[in-house]
A and B are shown apart, each in its own frame.
Chain A
Amino acid sequence: MSRVDVPLLSHDMRLAISREGGFAYLPGLAAPREIECERLSDDKCARLGEWLSRLANVPEASTTGADRRCFRLTLSSRRTGEACWQRRLDEPCAPAWLVRLWRDGESALDEDDPAT
């Protein structure tokens, strides 16, 4: 389960995106954004898979320092709850589409260009 091996998305999967770290742990702001692949059209599911595959080029979150924030992404099976893929990315390294996905949920998948 290396970070380059993004599994092929299926409708059984759930993507959880959480923003972690920071000066304080604030429970009200810590809940993960969850995206159920079952609710996505085939096109959006494919787009999400393609975006996630681009994260292979983004370094894993640094473990130096303290109070730094990062994004955690976890793909898991809805049926078993078992996680099959996970990444942690430093906040400044997170691509804009990931921040939009975390902030806005699956509506962010309406936009074609993940580079913006």
Chain B
Amino acid sequence: MGRTVATPCGFMPPHVLERVAAQGSVRLRRCAQQTLEADHWFRQRGASAPQRDAARAVAGRPDRRIHSAENEQTLPGRLVRDEGQPASGDPAVDEAYEWLGATYRFYWEVFGRDSIDAKGMPLIGTVHYARDYDNAFWNGSQMVFGDGDGDLFRRFTAAPEVVAHELTHGVIERDVGLVYADQAGALNESLADVFGVLVKQYHADESPQAADWLIGAALLTDRVQGRALRSMAAPGTAYDDPVLGRDPQPGHMRDFVDTQADNGGVHINSGIPNRAFYLAAVALEAPAWESVAPVWYAAMRDDALSRESDFAAFAALTVAHARRQHGEGSREARAVDDAWREVGVVS
């Protein structure tokens, strides 16, 4: 059995290796229930989401509101930095403010998109959520960031691609509402990683060849044996640590992980489309936000992409948009097609 490691956040050690032997019937019921609930949500979406504040919203400028949960789990918490206010001196607050702003600028300057809903929606972020909290998430109307336990993880605002990843979940939710399970869920996660890493590259003015293509590198403490939480260039190689285990991401369809864990492997199989984007981007000299990002963005917004689309459906859309944007025999179209073939999504 694995060693016991006590951490401030109370992580359970890997002491039991046997997985839950849940029956298919239970899984089917779960999936059906999720679909029904998601359908209900999809119809109701936006009903409780924060709306554009006409008195303060200006297209092309973010409307950020950073709150502190003060180590509780009540959202959004106390407002600690409103749009235009000076730095607070609290690193988590100021990082959330800066990276949400960088993400807004990316979407506005690259795609002409005005915030999450393309209608100037306020960017609401909460930091200091819970105590020693090792996570960041999108709850359907705002972004939430934990401080990390300090043992394995640092604060989750430290990495711009993580902040941008969470904001992008809001974009995906508004544009296509990909079901958060199985291949559609893995595609959802991949798109959040793709646009997350694009924000980082755009902000740093990095070429695809110079970029590290890592997700969450700044989150890991020195005690973790690993470089990041995910590697888009080489899925499955981000970490190999006695406590965290080994990065389970595949980079090719032959290694696709069929699992009930992680909502059907949404953070696992996302490695496959992640690598496809990386391969397409590095095959071209132009910055990724100019070459393949517009292709991925157009595919994500294409009406032909359904809430339950799989990798192959998305790949076909990216190839079609690459041809439309750059020409039938263009280098860009070939790079996109080749990338999906190399990861085994297209044969």
Contact = CB atoms under 8 A, between A and B. Distances in A.
A80 B138 CA distance: 38
With most chain A CB atoms within 10 A of its CB, the pick from B12, B245, B265 is: B12
B268 A1 contact: no
Interface of A: 1, 16, 18-34, 60, 62-69, 72, 74, 76, 81-83, 86, 88, 92, 99, 102-103
The 9 closest A-B pairs by CB, nearest first: A28-B245, A27-B245, A64-B140, A67-B137, A81-B21, A66-B169, A25-B267, A24-B229, A25-B262
B268 A22 contact: no
With most chain B CB atoms within 10 A of its CB, the pick from A33, A66, A74 is: A66
Contact of A23 (B41, B156, B173): B156
Interface string B120-147: 0000000000000011111110000000
A67 B215 CA distance: 14
Given A65-B138, A66-B138, A66-B188, A74 B20 contact: yes
30 contacts: A21-B262, A23-B137, A23-B156, A23-B162, A23-B216, A23-B267, A24-B230, A25-B267, A25-B268, A27-B245, A29-B11, A29-B12, A29-B14, A31-B14, A31-B15, A32-B16, A32-B20, A33-B16, A34-B16, A60-B33, A63-B34, A65-B169, A66-B138, A67-B169, A68-B138, A69-B135, A74-B20, A81-B21, A92-B73, A103-B12
B26 to A, nearest CB: 5
B163 to A, nearest CB: 11
A69 B133 CA distance: 11
Contacts of A31: 2, 12, 14-17, 19
A65 B137 CA distance: 7
Contacts, number: 137
Interface stretch (B86-94, B197-205, B236-244, B334-342): B236-244
Contacts of A76: 20-22
B238 to A, nearest CB: 9
